[in-house]
Structure 1
Amino acid sequence: MPTSKTVTTFTQQTEQGTHVFDIIGYSQHRGRDDDGVAKPLVSGRFLVGGHKWLVLLFPDPINYTNVLYQDRVMVLLVLRSKNVKVRASYELRLLDQNTGSWVSVYRSAPRLYEFVNFDDRSSYIASFAGQRSLFESSTYLRDDRLTMECIVTVMKSHCRETRSVPKIQVPPSDITDHFAKLLDEKIGADVAFSVGGENFTAHKNILAIRSPVFRAELYGPVSEGTAPITIEDMQPDVFRALLRFIYTDSLPPFDDLEPNDYCEMIRHTLVAADRYGMERLKLMCQSILCENLHVQTVATTLALADQHHCDMLKDACIEFISCSMNAVAATSGYKNLKRSCPSVLVDALEKTSKLPKVVLLQGVYAISTWLLKASERRLHVATTLTFYCYCLHL
C-alpha cells in the first residue's frame, strides 16, 4: 500500500534585547515620599521587538504592612508602548563585583503584556521580589553601586513549515531468486538423488530444514551416507517440482502442460508433499485442485483426497458431485471409485442426503444381499449399486 509522510516544523520567531541599569549611590535613593509611598528608581526607556520598555527598582518595600515585602527589593518590567499586546519573557541578572560576571536571579515564563498607565501605581507589570540580603550583599553591592541587567525576549510571529519526508523505496525480497540459483547452479550441493533414471543434486541442510522426512533420512540413524539416494514411485518432473518448492516456496509455472496434464501433475505433487511432510505445499495443491474440479476427474480427486487425508478438498469434491451426480456417475473415474473406495461414496452420500451413515450402510447391506440372489438373473452388481446410491441421493 503506497504511503506518504510529512513533517510540520513549528518555530517561534523571537527578538531579544538587553538593558543594563547601573545604580550609583544606591543607598541615597532609598526612602519614601511625603505620603509614605516608596519611590522607585526608573531606568531609561529601551526598545525590544519594536516596543518600549522600562525597569523600575524599589529599594524600599512597597507595602510595609505586608510582612512578605518587608525584606524584599521589588523589580518591575513595564511595557510603555500604547495600545499593544506583547507576549514576552524577561531575565534579571546582577553583576558579580568580584568576578565581573553576570548572575541570573530571576527568569520569567512567556506571558502577555499590555500597556498600563504609569501614573496608576497599582498597575505595574511583571514584578519580581528578591531578597534584600541578596541584592545588598557585598557580592553585588560594592561602593554603594548596584548593576542590573534586564534581558527581554519578545515572541513574534510563528513559523510553520510542512515538508514531505523523502521515502526510500525498498525493492521486494529476492531471496527466493538466490535460492533458486543455488539449486540450479548446484553450488555446494552435497547430496544426490536418482529419480526415474534422472539425477538430482541438492543441499542437505536446506532439505532437512524444510522437510521432517528429509531430515530423518539425511541426518537420522538410517541415513544412507554419501551414495545417491534412489527415490521410488515418483516421476522426475514431480521431484523437480518438489525441490523447486523446497528452495523457493513456490511451484514452477508448468506453462507447457495442458489443463488435464497440469491437474495430474498437481495430484502427483500433492502425493509427494504428503510423503515428505510438507503441509504448505500440500495445501497449495489442494487449493489448485479445488479450483480445477471437473466432471471427468472429480472422482479421481475425491479418492486422492480421501487417501491423503485432505478433508477440505474432499468436502469440495463431494459438493461438486452432489451438484452433478448424473454426469459424474457416467465417468470411468466414478466407476473406479466404486470398486476401490466404496466407503468414500457412502461418506459422500451421507453428506449430501438427510440419511445418517448407519442407515446408508444398512441399505447397502440389504441391497447387496438382494444383488447376490439376483446374480442368477445376470444383473450387474456395480450398476445396481450405483442405481441404489443414486436413488438415495435423490
Structure 2
Amino acid sequence: MSVEYDDTTSAASHGQGLHETTSSRCLTETFTATHNFEVTDFSLLDGMGISEFVSSSTFTVGGYDWNIMFFPDGNKKEHEGAFVSVFLCFIGGGEATRVRAKFSLSMVDRDGRVPLIHTFGTEDREWSWGLPCFIEKYKLRHFLRPGPVGGRAVQPPRAPKTCVLSARSPVFDAELFGPLNKNNSAHPVKINDMDPTIFEGLLHFIYADSLPDCCDSNENTTMQHLLIAADRYGLDRLRALCEAKLCQGIDVQTVATTLALGEQHNCERLKDACLRFIASRDVLSAIMETDGFRHLKESCPLILEAISEKIATFRKRRTSMQHLR
C-alpha cells in the first residue's frame, strides 16, 4: 500500500510561509503652561537671610501641583548672599512620587524685557529643580534701579512709608513699632543733628539700595556724614559702601579726619587704609599741618601710637627690601 500527499498543502496547513504584521503605540501625555510670579519691592527682601525664601502660590500643571521658591539671599552659605536662587518645586498631586519636567526660569523686568533666561532639560527629580546662582544680586539691583520717567529722575516719597523704614533699619523699627510705641500707632519720628541732604541720601539708599547720585561738591565730607548716619540707623550695607568710597578718596587733606572717623565708628578697613597711606608716603609732616590732624589729636589721642607703629613697620619692611636687592 502506498500513501501520497502534497508537501505544499501540508506546509500551508501548519502556517509556514505566511507573514503577519502587528503594531502598537505608546502615548505620552505632555502638558505646557506658564506661571508668572511677581516679586515686588525686592529691596525689602534683600538681607532677609541665606536659605530664607518666599514662594509663589500653588499652581497646577498636568494634574500635579507646583510652586516657585525665590531666595533673595541665596540658598547656600558658601555664596555669602551674593546670588539670588530660584527653584521650581513639585508639591504633589496624582499618584506619582517622581515626575519629569522640562522648563525655563526667566526674569522679566518692569518694561517687559527678558534680560535673563535659564532652560532646563528633562530630568527626573523628586521635588525641585533650579539654580542656586540664578543671578548675581548686584546685577539684579541694576535691573531694578529706577530710571528716568518723563525726563525726571524717580525720587523716594517725601513722606517715607513706615513699613519700609522699619524693614530696612532696626533703629527705625524700634522707634516706630518698639516698646515705646505702646499703641502701635503712627507718630512723627524726630531726626536730630542731621543735615537734610544727608537724610535724603539715607532715604535714597533705603528705597533704591544704592548711593545717592548727587553729592555735595565736597564728596568726602558727604560720605563721612552718610557713614555716620548709616552707623546710627544700623544700615550695614550703606556703611560698607561709604567706607569703600572713602578708602578711594584718601589724600593729605582728608586722611586725618577720615582716620578719626574710622576710629570713632570702628571701621577697621578705613583705619587700615588711612594708616597705610600715612606710612607708605613721606607726607606725615604735611598731614600734621592740617586742621584734621589737630582734630585727630584731640579726639583720638591713642591713634597717634598706631600711626607711629605703622610707620616704623613700613620703614623696617622697606629697609629689608633694599637689603634683598
Q: TM-score, normalised by structure 1?
A: 0.43
**Pick aligned residue for 1:348 from 298, 307, 311:** 307
Letter in 1 for 2:214: F
Following superposition, the deviation at residue 237 of structure 1 comes to 0.7
1:204 to 162, 171, 174: 162
Name which of 114, 123, 128 aligns with 1:170. Answer: 114
Distance 2:202 2:252 in 1: 28
What amino acid is the match of 1:217? Answer: E
Of the two structures, which has the highest relative contact order with CA contacts closer than 8 Å and spacing of 6 or more?
Answer: 1
* SS class of match (1:285): helix
Report if the CA contact (8 A) 1:176-1:247 is conserved. no
Q: Secondary structure at the match of 1:295?
A: coil
Preserved CA contact (<8 Å) 1:286 1:310: yes
Measured in 2, the distance between the counterparts of 1:276 and 1:145 equals 94
Distance 2:14 2:253 in 1: 116
Q: Which runs of 5+ in 2 are unaligned?
A: 1-6, 22-105, 108-112, 116-138, 315-325
After TM superposition, give the deviation of residue 330 of structure 1 in Å.
Answer: 1.3
Identify which of 181, 190, 193 aligns with 1:233: 193
State whether residues 25 and 145 of structure 1, in contact with CA within 8 Å, keep that contact through their aligned partners in structure 2: no
Distance 1:26 1:231, change over 3 A: farther
Runs of 4+ in 1 over 6 A off after TM superposition: none
CA apart distance, 1:25: 3.4
Work out which of the residue numbers 25, 29, 43 in structure 1 matches 2:8.
25
Q: Is the 8 A contact 1:25 1:144 kept in 2?
A: no
Task: Write the mapping of 1:373-384 to structure 2, written as runs, cut at 5 A.
Answer: none
Q: Deviations over 1:256-308 (max 9, x none)?
A: x32xx111111000000101111111111011111101111110110000000
Task: Report the Cα distance in structure 2 between the residues aligned to 1:241 and 1:334, rounded to whole angstroms.
Answer: 28
CA 1:26–1:185 in 2, change beyond 3 Å: closer, same or farther? farther
| 2-structure distance, mates of 1:239, 1:213 | 14
Q: Distance in 2 between matches of 1:185 and 1:335?
A: 39
**Does the residue aligned with 2:190 lie in a helix, a strand or coil?**
strand
Tell which structure's C-alpha radius of gyration is larger. Answer: 1
* Partner residue in 2 for 1:148: 18
Give the % identical residues.
39
What TM-score do you get using the length of structure 2 for normalisation? 0.51
Aligned AA (1:307): Q
Deviations 1:88-135 (A, max 9, x none): xxxxxxxxxxxxxxxxxxxxxxxxxxxxxxxxxxxxxxxxxxxxxxxx
Aligned counterpart in structure 1 of residue 249 of structure 2, from 277, 289, 292: 292
Q: 1:226: Cα distance to partner? A: 2.3
Q: What residue in structure 2 maps to residue 305 of structure 1?
A: 262
CA contact (8 A) 2:230 2:238 kept: yes
Aligned position for 1:325: 284
Alpha carbons 2:262, 2:271 under 8 Å: kept: yes
Equivalent residue in structure 2 for 1:262, among 194, 212, 219: 219
- Judged with a 3 Å threshold, the aligned counterparts in structure 2 of structure 1 residues 185 and 298 are, in CA distance, closer, same or farther, namely closer
| Partner residue in 1 for 2:173 | 215
Q: Which has the higher strand share?
A: 1
TM-aligned CA distance change 1:146 to 1:317, over 3 Å = same
Distance in structure 2 (CA, Å) of the matches to 1:175 and 1:290: 27
Relative to structure 1, is the Cα distance of residues 26 and 203 closer, same or farther in structure 2, using a 3 angstrom cutoff? farther
Gaps of 5+ in 1: 1-23, 29-140, 152-166, 187-199, 356-394
Matches of 1:253 and 1:185, distance apart in 2: 13
Partners of 2:299 and 2:284 in 1: how far apart?
A: 19
Counterpart residue identity of residue 328, structure 1: I
CA distance in 2, matches of 1:185, 1:278: 17
Shift of residue 144 of structure 1?
Answer: 4.9
- Cα distance in 2 for partners of 1:307, 1:203 equals 31
Deviation (angstroms), 1:216: 1.5
Out of 263, 272, 277, the position equivalent to 2:229 is 272
Q: Secondary structure in 1 aligned to 2:302?
A: helix
- Summarize deviations over 1:128-186 as a string: whole Å, max 9, x none: xxxxxxxxxxxxx7x455453288xxxxxxxxxxxxxxx997237543428x99x8474
RMSD: 3.3
Change (3 A) 1:309 1:222: same
- Distance (Å, rounded) in 1 between the aligned partners of 2:155 and 2:292: 38
User: How far apart are 1:27 and its partner, in Å?
Assistant: 2.5
